[in-house]
Chains A and B, each alone.
Chain A
Amino acid sequence: MFLSRFRVNTARPGARRLLSSPQAMHAAVMSSFPHILPSDSPQPEAPRVLWRLDQRARAEVLLYVVSPDRPDLTHLVEQAGWPAVADRENPGWQTRPYAPLLDRLAAGDRWAFRLTANPVHTVRRKEGEPRKLTAHLTPVHQMGWLLDEERQKRLGFRVCEKPAGRRLLPEGTTHHKHPHPGDRYELTIRDTRSLAFDKSRGPGARRDKPVTVVTVTFEGRLEVTDPATMRRTLTQGIGRARAYGCGLLTLAPATQPGHRAP
């Protein structure tokens, strides 16, 4: 497995086309792998290509890719990077083997994490109607989706709880007595986006309705409970819309939360 990072040059029209459509970005990411044909559909249990866009500032957009093979992002550099600066030593993106990290995962490890996901559930709006897939729209529901016991067990980690001293709500509940996960867990929601984009631009394609996806970026701390399952989570992703930049969980060293002076 490999972890790659590519900085998008947002001044270029090619970058805007890619950033405005997850469908186009998916195609560009998948084209980085010479051995994967567009007709290939991934095996359900095999590692797959996952990607995510991290936007830190207006002009600082990073594309992260986790993949079974080493990617060649030359076409991305040409369309949406800095091709004149790139040379053999420094091709315009960074790729590192992911295995050292995956092999070292152990139960009880604590990591800071970041995840962009598509939290959904199914609802039946009236009796006798088939259940319909619907996005979670409020932060409390979105957090509840990730904090679900069953889901966390399936993913092989557990979101850490905050120490009592750093909680703000005295009873762990809001004044309506609803428990609030954001106060209890080391978990925040950075970003909620509603994406709507056309799936196909070819002639004869259905143009009537755009694809809509609600994405949420979670950040927080987690504790690994089951290393083998966690490895699968890191290489296969979480939840739906994994082709559209969702489901990639990345880990970073957990630093101690800042203590205030004096």
Chain B
Amino acid sequence: MSHTGVLVLRLAGPLQSWGASSRFTRRTTESAPTKSGIVGLLAAAAGIERGDDTRLAPLAALRFGVRIDQPGTRIRDFHTARHGVTGASMPLSERFYLADAVFVAAVEGDQRLIAGLHDALRSPVYAPFLGRRSCPPAEPVDLGRYEETTLEDALTSVPWQASAWYRRRHRSPQTLTVLRETTATESTDAADVLRDQPVSFDAAHRRHALRTVVTTAVPTPLPAGDGSPHGTHDPFAALDDLENESA
């Protein structure tokens, strides 16, 4: 537990889709980003190729947690498509998405690895997407890197990322749901098991192992102060400052 760092991501966009167990033509989504989705996003940003399991392993070993800042709405898309070249009908499928959701995801691990991933995210080899290639992020994914802190602390203290209209409507004190992996000492009695631990992203044979997820709640942190300088520009403040100095 020496020199760990936490990398925090914001996942916000019109549509996201985080499948963990879908097969065949019904492609469901979990209600929060999956570890395989986030590890895949980071691996893509770092330029790790699909079949490169040895470079993937350290990423998959990161501890992962996600906070639901704005749950969004689940929508179903009855998907019809034709082949672009031959015009043949492609299989009909149902695809599920989360519309208008915002999540904060965090990975914890060795500080150097985290720093490398942070750089990769700021200058990605393959562009990040929110679970499906057709779901681009609406806001910058990078929310910063924190050193000498834990996953739990980061997910507790990162400002609330929900959009303004959602914050207005849910102003009363409340909690946000956090889904995270257990620590080494924690009991796993109350944990869920999800087949979501990436082992290989090889296009020919993707493999996932099981991982345990505990669901907790954190008090809603303050939103990121509308830090925008606009609207607050006050030329009289400069005159006031001068008067206070001379007084």
Q: Can you name 27 A-B residue pairings with CB atoms under 8 Å?
A: A3-B236, A5-B236, A56-B231, A57-B231, A94-B236, A98-B239, A101-B239, A104-B242, A112-B229, A114-B233, A114-B235, A168-B140, A170-B122, A170-B123, A252-B233, A252-B234, A252-B237, A253-B241, A257-B227, A258-B225, A260-B143, A260-B158, A260-B159, A261-B157, A261-B159, A262-B146, A262-B154
For the complex, what is the distance from the CA of A190 to the CA of B154, rounded to whole Å? 33
> Which residues of B127-160 are within 8 A (CB) of A?
140, 143-144, 146, 149, 153-154, 157-159
The verdict on A190 contacting B230 (CB below 8 Å), with A100-B243, A258-B225 known, is yes
The answer to the question of B238 belonging to the interface, with a C-beta cut-off of 8 Å to chain A, is yes
Of A168, A219, A257, the residue contacting B233 (CB under 8 A) is: A219
Inter-subunit contact A253/B154 (CB<8 Å): no
Q: Which chain A residue shows the least CB distance to B153?
A: A262
Q: Which chain B residue shows the least CB distance to A262?
A: B157
Query: What 0/1 readout, one digit per residue, does chain A (96-120) give for beta carbons within 8 Å of chain B?
Result: 1010110010000001101000000
Inter-subunit contact A100/B233 (CB<8 Å): no
Query: What 0/1 readout, one digit per residue, does chain B (43-67) give for beta carbons within 8 Å of chain A?
Result: 0000000000000000000000000
A147 CB to closest chain B CB, in angstroms?
Answer: 18
Return chain B residues, CB-CB under 8 Å to A190.
230
Q: Which chain A residue shows the least CB distance to B142?
A: A168
Q: Which chain A residue shows the least CB distance to B149?
A: A262
The answer to the question of A250 belonging to the interface, with a C-beta cut-off of 8 Å to chain B, is yes
Inter-subunit contact A101/B225 (CB<8 Å): no
Return chain A residues, CB-CB under 8 Å to B230.
188, 190, 219
> Which residues of A168-226 are within 8 A (CB) of B?
168, 170, 188, 190, 219
B interface, size bucket: 20 to 34
The answer to the question of B224 belonging to the interface, with a C-beta cut-off of 8 Å to chain A, is yes
Of A57, A64, A251, A261, the residue contacting B238 (CB under 8 A) is: A251
Q: Which of B154, B237, B239, B243 has the most CB of A within 10 A?
A: B239
Return chain B residues, CB-CB under 8 Å to A262.
146, 149, 153-154, 157-158
Return chain A residues, CB-CB under 8 Å to B227.
257-258
The answer to the question of A69 belonging to the interface, with a C-beta cut-off of 8 Å to chain B, is no
Q: Which chain B residue shows the least CB distance to A171?
A: B123
The answer to the question of A72 belonging to the interface, with a C-beta cut-off of 8 Å to chain B, is no
A166 CB to closest chain B CB, in angstroms?
Answer: 11
A164 CB to closest chain B CB, in angstroms?
Answer: 11
For the complex, what is the distance from the CA of A112 to the CA of B229, rounded to whole Å? 9
Inter-subunit contact B238/A111 (CB<8 Å): yes
Inter-subunit contact B225/A250 (CB<8 Å): no
Return chain B residues, CB-CB under 8 Å to A112.
229, 233
A30 CB to closest chain B CB, in angstroms?
Answer: 21
A-B pairs, top 8 by smallest CB distance, nearest first, are A250-B235, A170-B123, A258-B227, A262-B157, A114-B233, A56-B231, A100-B242, A261-B157
What residues make up the interface of B, taking CB atoms closer than 8 Å to A?
122-123, 140, 143-144, 146, 149, 153-154, 157-159, 221, 224-225, 227, 229-231, 233-239, 241-243, 246
The verdict on A3 contacting B239 (CB below 8 Å), with A54-B233, A258-B225 known, is yes
Inter-subunit contact A253/B235 (CB<8 Å): no
What residues make up the interface of A, taking CB atoms closer than 8 Å to B?
3, 5, 54, 56-57, 64, 94, 96, 98, 100-101, 104, 111-112, 114, 168, 170, 188, 190, 219, 250-253, 255, 257-258, 260-262
Inter-subunit contact A253/B237 (CB<8 Å): yes
Q: Which chain A residue shows the least CB distance to B158?
A: A261
Inter-subunit contact B238/A101 (CB<8 Å): yes
List 7 extra interface pairs beyond A219-B229, A250-B233, A258-B224, CB under 8 A: A100-B239, A101-B242, A170-B122, A170-B123, A260-B143, A260-B144, A262-B157
Q: Which of B235, B236, B238, B246 has the most CB of A within 10 A?
A: B235
Return chain A residues, CB-CB under 8 Å to B225.
258
For the complex, what is the distance from the CA of A64 to the CA of B236, rounded to whole Å? 10
Q: Which of B144, B231, B234, B238 has the most CB of A within 10 A?
A: B238
Return chain B residues, CB-CB under 8 Å to A219.
229-230, 233
Q: Which chain A residue shows the least CB distance to B241?
A: A253
A67 CB to closest chain B CB, in angstroms?
Answer: 14
